[in-house]
Amino acid sequence: MGFFGRYIDFYYSAYHPINRNSSFFRPKLRLEFDARKKQNDYAPSAACRGDTPRFLRIYVKNKGYSSVHNCHAEIVTIIPDSANPMLYPSDERKLLAWGRFPQSDDIDYKRTIRGHGKELLHIAFSDSLFKDVKTNKEEEKRFAGISTVENLKLMSRFTVLAGESYLRVQDGFTKGEFELELSVTSDEGPYVRGKIKIHVDPDFQKLKMTLHPRRLNI
């Protein structure tokens, strides 16, 4: 902790009753993503079933001293009025998955983020097999999906059949640019929002995104 941290603890315990609801201790959630980094925590690729999925993830960081419990992250796809909704995921609110690897047991819909800690949040994913999936309408072919717990678990368990995809149509992206709204909430109330733009290409390795966080919790 160091001298400064011990000094603060001593000063507050000796001279002040600690108010965990004060602005000093209050949790502060922030979104973190670095699009310049390729193969790292934000956008790794991994071998799975002989195919290669690629993940887009961000960190949700707690800049405060107190923990936040049961953090949930929801995402909504923005469908322009003039657009064909069949080329987009549905605009229902979808809960995102927390965790490092879909194949591990730590994937869940909720997380506790300790003071000055951070947790990985899945946003979207692609797979090398999607380009080979046959569809009735080629323009509606899905090349990426929203990272819900169900979708990531399907990816881990699915046995690949010729021309078949495990990706849910209502959670899938066709080729192009897509805008989404992200919000993270917790039992304590602190929350943070951001806008995400996702670029989807038939080449799964070209899946990428940009993040524009909005500081709303004070």
Query: What is the per-residue pLDDT across 105-135, written as a single tens digit (0 to 9) for each?
Result: 789 999 999 999 999 999 999 988 888 888 8
Determine the Cα–Cα distance for residues 212 and 193; give it in Å rounded to an integer.
Answer: 9
The percentage of residues in the chain with a pLDDT greater than 90, rounded to a whole number, is 53
Spatial CA neighbour of 179 closest among 195, 160, 167? 195
Q: How confident is the model at residue 209 (pLDDT cuts 50, 70, 90)?
A: very high
Confidence of residue 46 (pLDDT cuts 50, 70, 90): confident
Q: What are residue 50's phi and psi, to 5 degrees?
A: 90, -10
Q: What is the pLDDT of residue 11?
A: 40
Residue 215 — pLDDT band, cuts 50, 70, 90?
A: low
DSSP reduced 3-state for 44: coil
Q: What pLDDT, on a 0 to 100 scale, did the predictor assign at position 129?
A: 85
What is the reported pTM? 0.83
Domain boundaries, the chain: 29-214
> 177 is written with which tokens?
């640019």
Q: Are 174 and 137 in contact (CB under 8 A)?
A: no
Structure confidence by residue, pLDDT tens digits, 68-113:
999 999 999 999 999 999 999 999 999 999 998 877 778 999 999 9
Query: Per the CATH hierarchy, to which homologous superfamily does domain 29-214 belong?
Result: Immunoglobulins (2.60.40.10)
Least confident of 19-23, 87-91, 171-175: 19-23
Bridge partners for 192 per DSSP:
184
Please give the Cα distance from 161 to 88 (Å, whole number). 25
